[in-house]
Amino acid sequence: MPDMSASASLAMTHLVPLAKELDEDKVTPGVLGFIVFAVMALAVWGLMKSMNRHMGRVDFPESEDPGARGGREGAEAAGAEKRG
């Protein structure tokens, strides 16, 4: 696997002379900032798509809610469960 710090420093040595050509009083994110932002946006989009796919596959049995039973039966069952 190539050393990422070497390629990053190589990229910076090529970008520094380009920055000198710009106005010293004006700071902009430039093309590199746009590329980083676009890559991060694509990564988040991919993660969200993957998460939605995985959440769609989740299937678990739901327990019966004692309060969902009608009237007095539900209240008695809920009281019995609380007592122990």
- Residue range 19-62, pLDDT digits in tens: 566 666 777 888 999 999 999 999 999 999 999 999 998 888 88
Do 49 and 55 contact (CB within 8 A), yes or no?
no
- Residue range 70-83, pLDDT digits in tens: 555 555 555 555 55
Q: What is the mean pLDDT of residues 3-15?
A: 65
What pLDDT shows up at residue 1?
A: 47
Q: What is the mean pLDDT of residues 2-24?
A: 64
Place of tokens 């520094």: 16
Q: Among residues 77, 56, 55, which one has the least CA distance to residue 66?
A: 77
What pLDDT shows up at residue 83?
A: 59
Q: Which residue has the higher pLDDT, 26 or 5?
A: 26
